[in-house]
Chain A
Amino acid sequence: EDKVVQSPLSLVVHEGDTVTLNCSYEVTNFRSLLWYKQEKKAPTFLFMLTSSGIEKKSGRLSSILDKKELFSILNITATQTGDSAIYLCAVEPTGSGSRLTFGEGTQLTVNP
């Protein structure tokens, strides 16, 4: 059974801090790893990673995948209060169709 573990489960920082969120996984026949941000309702897509060692960046957010060690990290630099959200990590195996297995998420709170 596919499994995703995120750490920490909860994190409180001050504006301007840099944070690193962790995601480790076990999946039979890995295809991709995805990061989402969930504020109130719908998870918002951030990154999809398929290749090891290639960093994806979007503004202050970046993510990298290590397929050998089976983990990914999401970095947020110069955090802002608007970054407060639950960050979800999910994995998708190969095979027919789309099927994501999610971790519990990391609740990030950024205080002014």
Chain B
Amino acid sequence: KAGVTQTPRYLIKTRGQQVTLSCSPISGHRSVSWYQQTPGQGLQFLFEYFSETQRNKGNFPGRFSGRQFSNSRSEMNVSTLELGDSALYLCASSRLAGGYEQYFGPGTRLTVT
């Protein structure tokens, strides 16, 4: 069974631009969560989608948004990029929402210059 895939794997953007990251969950998984990982803050929860609905949201500004499609694929968007948005963005999928193992994708390394 294929794992979680994320595209692109690397991205370089400049301040003020916007970016869209994509995540395809493991086949049969319906919940997708997004996390930001930085050296200073560690892994922090961004949001979770299940059945095309946002179920949970972390403490991030409104510049961070996401959506989920009917095939469970998810996208995350960051608008008006800031230098501090440079991070590894990880998505994780689980079979259902809550109480199931979450499996992570390889991540997208975003660098904002």
Chain A residues with a Cβ under 8 A of chain B: 31-32, 34, 36, 41-45, 48, 50, 88, 90, 92, 94-105
B55 interfacial contact with A, CB 8 Å: yes
Interface residues of B in 37-91 (CB under 8 A from A): 42-45, 48, 50, 55-56, 58, 88, 90
A98/B104 contact (C-beta < 8 A), A32-B99, A41-B88, A42-B90 known: no
Min CB gap B65→A, angstroms: 17
Contact residues in B for A105 (Cβ distance below 8 Å) = 42
**Could you give, for residues 89-113 of chain B, a 1 whenever the CB lies within 8 Å of some chain A CB and a 0 otherwise?**
0101010011111111111000000
Q: A63 CB to closest chain B CB, in angstroms? A: 13
* Interface size, B (range): 20 to 34
Indicate if B22 sits at the interface (CB-CB under 8 A).
no
8 residue pairs of the A-B complex, CB under 8 angstroms, read A31-B99, A41-B106, A97-B48, A98-B48, A98-B50, A98-B97, A100-B92, A105-B42
The reply on B33 being an interface residue by CB < 8 A is yes
